[in-house]
Structure 1
Amino acid sequence: MYLLFIMMLTACQPSGPVEPSRATLRIMETSDVHAQLTGYDYFSNQPVQRGLVHTASVIHAARTEVSLSVLIENGDLLQGSPVADWIVAGGAGDEHNGNPFIQALNYLDYDAANLGNHEFNYGLEYLAEAYSQAQFPVLSANIHWLDDAPGRLRKQIQPYTILHRVAVDQHCNELPVNIAVIGVMPPQIMQWDARYLSGRATMTDMVTAAALQVKTARAQGADIVILAAHTGMPKQTQNPKDTEQAGWELAGIPGIDALLLGHQHEVFPGTGAYDDLPGVDSGAGRIRGVPAVQPGAYGEHLGIIDLDLEFSDQQWRVVSTRSSIRATDSGYDSGFADKLQAVHQATKAFVAQPVGYTAQPLSYRRARLQPELAVQLIHQAQLWYAQHHIPAERLDDLPLLSATAPFNAALSAEDEQQGRYTEINAGQVTLGDIADLYRYPNTLDVVKLNGAQIKRWLEFSAQAVSEPEASKREQSWAWVNTDFPGYNFDSLFGLSYRIDPRRAQGDRILALHYGKQAVTDDMLFLVMVNSYRATGGGDVPDLDGSTLVYRSPDQIQDILVRYFRYLGENGYQEELVKHWNIEGIPTSD
């Protein structure tokens, strides 16, 4: 810092009679860290170049380059890794031991944190306890707490904050600058985490909430307004409007100087996913003229927006901007890593705990192309739970199906060759293996659907494959639509069917049968499905919460553990049931 101060002094210019003061504000963003903290993959047991211990090195370097900066966390911090699972299981996190994620943000001197949807996955009490330890403001402008919400949350969560900073201009004059940070997140959390939020909170849409708070912050003296929005934008479309991915509409709110995005795990500037949208410059990182960044996920990038400011007529104005993304590398904060050693070792011990046995490997390797045993295990565990833990009267004596998707499957021949997919060897199954198989804290729900709705669901899922150009049709991986996320590629166990990606969308599901009986539009089924999907996650037709008939209290990860324990020492012995296939695709490359 002393060297930076000397550089600033030597850079000072004599004050001129009319030359306005100038300064640069650097805005740094992390988002969708998903509990990646220690720079270690607890599934492969290998160090990795991601997580806040690596991001910290990039943050420190970026800070030293400027005299005025703010650092903002943009949501989905608390969930997504075995470290989070260990904390929730009681390993740490209370007011005495400290939540490692919040302590990490304190250590790195974050100036504000916006909430994301996954912050709510473990309930409001956990959320309140975690952020009670924050030494920075916690934001969300579009959630409104009801009387039954924890009192601490009503005090902790603010719609916006104003950071009072001092800018040093080119004449070495110190001038105050008031920086407002406003936070918003998808209102769909009222569906996705209804078990925690129903009767305890309400939501407004992001655009309405943000527009109101921009006006309020400006009236309170904000010179610069930053919108931290845990949302992205519609991809590969010219239609910019979406209530979950509202970034394009948010950029149109008057009075915003910088837009921080997240939620979609994209890297912006740098991705072409939004190029069809009007007014999006993915090279310069501008959306409708507003500088914007989105730093991917897992702490692998730091988003940076530099605002060049000019002070005249007693106010600051933005005269130029630069948006950029910095990737992490092998560098890391060794002091930070030392502080995390106890957490790291405890997490390693936690995930190594045995829960059962499998007679053969459980893999997601080619689950985007064919049935795989790892997917089937989840199906069978969900059906076992329904038959053993849901009251029979709630099941209406209807046929039971199970829906799930491959969360970490290969997408290409390179992925397959490099082992970039979940693979659990035959033998002992650990808690870490369970977390690798099922990476989200969803509970298990039951939806009631007719045959026509079932077919619409499968037609939606069939977007996961598409016919490639003629020269690539003999390459099986070329049939995978990599723009369609694996977590939306649901299969329905209990049915048999074929997917023909050569046919028009909406007419790709063929020979749909339940046993030997063809599925008709009016047949009724109960489907075991995760709470995210049952309440609208992924925008699957007819899955918007209206078809929900039963909500279990149990997370699917816990159900998998209980299923293995039920199976006993013989473990999982099932053979693969090839209940669906893709027409036209080669069986091997």
Structure 2
Amino acid sequence: MLSEITNIKILYTSDVHGNAMPILYGTNEPANLGLAKYASIVKKARRENENVLVLDNGDLIQGTPLMTHYVKEHSDKENPMIGIMNRIGIDAGVIGNHEFNFGKDVLHDAIHQSNFPWLSANLVNEKGEPYFGKPYIIKSLSNGVKIAIVGVTTHYIPNWESPNHIEGIRFRDAANTLKHWVDYIRETEKPDLVIASYHGGFERDLETGEPTEAQTGENQGYAMCQEIEGIDILLTGHQHRILSGEVNGVLIAQPGNNGKMYGSIDIEMKQVEKKWQVIRKEAEVIPVGTIEPDKDILNFMEEIETSNQQWLDMPTGYINGDMTIEDPFNARVSKHPFIQFIQNVQLEASGVDISVTALLTNESKGFQSTVTMRDIVSNYMYPNTLVVLELTGKDIKLALEKTAEYFALDSNQTITVNPTYITPKPQHYNYDMWEGIDYTIRVANPIGSRVEDIHYKGEPLQEDKRYHVVMNNYRATGGGNYDMFKDKPVVKEIQKDMVELIHEYFEKYRSVVAEINSNFTVLP
């Protein structure tokens, strides 16, 4: 009986979020991240193994000042992230939820420019056909191994994205769709290996199976491993976690975010009587580390990166006083001048008198005395637009109770962050602060009854009265499980993103005083 053994390597990225260059744009300091370094890793792997597959699992084209600048100033040129992936020579990409953030035109241009297929079997058109072309591809390696790669995307996107960015797209259940296509592929294509690339993560603890989040369907990786027969490897993302191992015999991985790490999967297969069988499969998540960035990628990026750096260093305004953030937790427990500034921008842009915002990340440093575009995009990294909703007082009360879930008390009865907002994925952006109303959060009270003394213009908030409230488009669609905002009447949409609105605010006022309106209190 003749047998042959072959080795296959799969390299993949997920949630790169526009990180092409090995740099942190907020400080302009070098960093061990980005696709320029990853390109060197891929080249090295291909020199060592002829059977290398390279994939991207979504959230590729949004997330850095580079990509904001590209969309604002250079969208008539090749998308830098697509240009890099074309030069790396990836085999396929998967649609992520942040692919939609800049609108359908930018996404369609990116797909048109790609020398590789984009996969997402569960995003379909009105006829039920895959909206972005292919649900799966087949790769036949030089040794005769036949590999199927099927892509699916978290179907929770309509809960976050602006409706006009996803018009005409139907979001089918990712797990159910994946089961259908895996069954179809196994029966009709008869591959030797099936790889599912899912822009989504795990909803349960991988060891115990206990739920780790509300079972909304946003993440279904655990269910996919348990309930779908025929998957050899499940590549995941979306949660920005670092994972590798096996669940119910399915090899899984998740390589963090921002191009700091990548997934490396090694498969050993044995051919017995013309049939290939997997005899070993292992997954690692590896830092890109100190490897030198690829010179071809750096040369390709030189023109747009020079333009980007010039744009980032442009002074846009000045702060009179202190608007820097030393401790992000303290900036959430009590009113901070930077949060007051964001509220003021939203109130002026919308013309209403109640506003909702969040401190989007713990890396936000606020504004120093001179504010550049680098400072603006480092603090407000999402291309959110604003929406004015008509809400009842009851809706507002429910939203305040939801945001109050962010806090917990430790063993010393000291206010801290609820662990569910830290793991399995940091969600600090889902704690909102309100302007235009006064309120108190008492953390010792049970969840659902923590908010007290809600007043609007000196009078108690009326549950049946209607109020106009401005917030970003992510929250307005119910993003962050703020279900009370779903399908509420839209009074106004401001079709400029927050970076542009902040820039315009500085153009109008030039110098802004760091001040606060102490309208909320958080107590143990």
Do these two structures clear the TM 0.5 threshold for a shared fold by scoring above it? yes
Whether 1:332 and 2:301 are equivalent positions in the alignment is: no
Structure 1: distance between partners of 2:276 and 2:231? 14
Say which one has the larger Rg: 1
Aligned to 1:86, the other structure's residue is in SS state: helix
What residue in structure 1 maps to residue 22 of structure 2? Answer: 39
| Alpha-carbon distance between aligned partners in 2 of 1:234 and 1:543, rounded to the nearest angstrom | 24
Do structure 1's residue 86 and structure 2's residue 50 form an aligned pair? no
Deviation of 1:245 after TM superposition, in Å, equals 0.9
Match of 1:165 among 125, 141, 157: 141
Does the 8 A contact of 1:452 with 1:522 survive in 2? yes
Aligned-partner residue type, residue 544 of structure 1: K
Distance 1:532 1:208 in 2: 26
Q: Is the 8 A contact 1:362 1:425 kept in 2?
A: yes
> Which residue is equivalent to 1:426?
369
State the shift of 1:191 in Å: 4.4
1:281 is matched with which residue? none
Q: Distance in 1 between matches of 2:318 and 2:112?
A: 40
Superimposed CA distance per residue, residues 524-558 of structure 1 (whole angstroms, 9 cap, x where no aligned partner) = 22211111111121111312234544333222222
- Kindly state the Cα deviation for residue 312 of structure 1 after the two structures are TM-superposed: 2.6
Residues 19 and 503 of structure 1, relative CA distance in 2, 3 Å threshold: farther
Partner amino acid, structure 1, of 2:193:
I
Are 2:218 and 1:244 aligned?
Answer: yes
* 1:314 maps onto 2:274 in alignment: yes
Residue 239 of structure 1, CA deviation? 3.3
Q: How does 1:278-427 map to 2 (within 5 A)?
A: 285-335=245-295, 336-364=297-325, 365=327, 366-387=330-351, 400-409=353-362, 420-427=363-370
DSSP 3-state at the match of 2:405: helix
| Counterpart Cα distance in 2 of 1:425 and 1:61 | 43
Match of 1:74 in 2: 57
**Alignment partner of 1:85: what SS?**
helix
Structure 2: distance between partners of 1:479 and 1:310:
49
The alpha-carbon deviation at position 564 of structure 1 amounts to 1.9
CA separation in 2, counterparts of 1:500 and 1:304?
47
1:217 correspondence with 2:182 = no
1:231 has 2:205 as partner: no
Opposite residue 428 of structure 2, the aligned amino acid is G
User: Is there any run of 5+ residues in structure 1 with no aligned partner, and where?
Assistant: 1-17, 168-175, 270-284, 388-398, 410-419, 585-589
Question: Over residues 343-368 of structure 1, what are the superposed CA-to-partner deviations in whole Å (9 max), with x where a residue is unaligned?
Answer: 32111011122332222333343323
Q: In the TM superposition, what are the counterparts of 1:164-183 in structure 2 within 5 Å? A: 164-167=140-143, 176-183=144-151
8 Å contact from structure 1 (residues 146, 199) kept in 2? no
Question: What do residues 182-218 of structure 1 show as CA deviations (whole Å, max 9, x unaligned)?
Answer: 1111223334334434542222111122122223323
> By how many angstroms is 1:82 displaced?
0.8
Q: Is the 8 A contact 2:388 2:469 kept in 1?
A: yes
Match of 1:259? 234
AA matched with 1:422: K
Q: SS state of the match for residue 239, structure 1?
A: coil
Measured in 1, the distance between the counterparts of 2:210 and 2:493 equals: 37
Is the 1:464–1:482 contact (alpha carbons within 8 Å) kept by the matching residues of 2?
Answer: no
2:62 aligned partner, one-letter code = Q
Correspondence for 1:572: 512
Deviations 1:114-148 (A, max 9, x none): 1101111122222121222222121111112359x
* Among 51, 75, 83, the residue aligned to 2:34: 51
1:298 partner letter: N
**Deviation per CA, 1:140-177, whole angstroms, max 9, x where unpaired?**
11112359x9xxx96x631111112123xxxxxxxx11
Q: Partner of 1:487: helix, strand, or coil?
A: helix
3-state DSSP of counterpart to 2:347:
helix
Cα offset, 1:221, TM superposition: 3.6
1:405: Cα distance to partner?
0.5
1:460–1:64 CA distance, 2 compared to 1 (3 A)? farther
Deviates further, 58-67 or 310-319: 58-67
- Deviation, structure 1 residue 304: 1.9
Deviation at 1:39, TM superposition (A): 1.1
Q: Is the 8 A contact 1:408 1:422 kept in 2?
A: no
Structure 1 CA distance, aligned partners of 2:344 and 2:495?
A: 18
Cα distance in 1 for partners of 2:364, 2:267 equals: 41
Q: Equivalent residue of 1:554, what SS?
A: coil
Note if contact 2:26-2:374 (Cα within 8 Å) is conserved in structure 1.
yes
Equivalent residue number for residue 207 of structure 1: 175
Q: Is the 8 A contact 1:248 1:288 kept in 2?
A: no
* Structure 2 gap segments, 5+ residues each: none
Is the 1:162–1:217 Cα contact (8 Å) retained in structure 2? Answer: no
Q: 2:117 corresponds to which letter in structure 1?
A: P
Contact 2:55 2:90 in 1 (8 A): yes
Determine the structure 2 residue equivalent to 1:278.
Answer: none
Q: Deviations over 1:71-102 (max 9, x none)?
A: 110101100101101110122x54xx422111
Q: Percent identity?
A: 28
Contact 2:319 2:514 in 1 (8 A): no
Cα pair 1:408 1:486 within 8 Å, conserved: yes
CA deviations 1:496-523 (Å, max 9, x no partner) are: 2222222211122122222322223223
Q: Deviations over 1:19-49 (max 9, x none)?
A: 5322222222101100011111222121122
In structure 2, what residue type is equivalent to 1:257?
Answer: D
2:510 aligned with 1:563, yes or no?
Answer: no
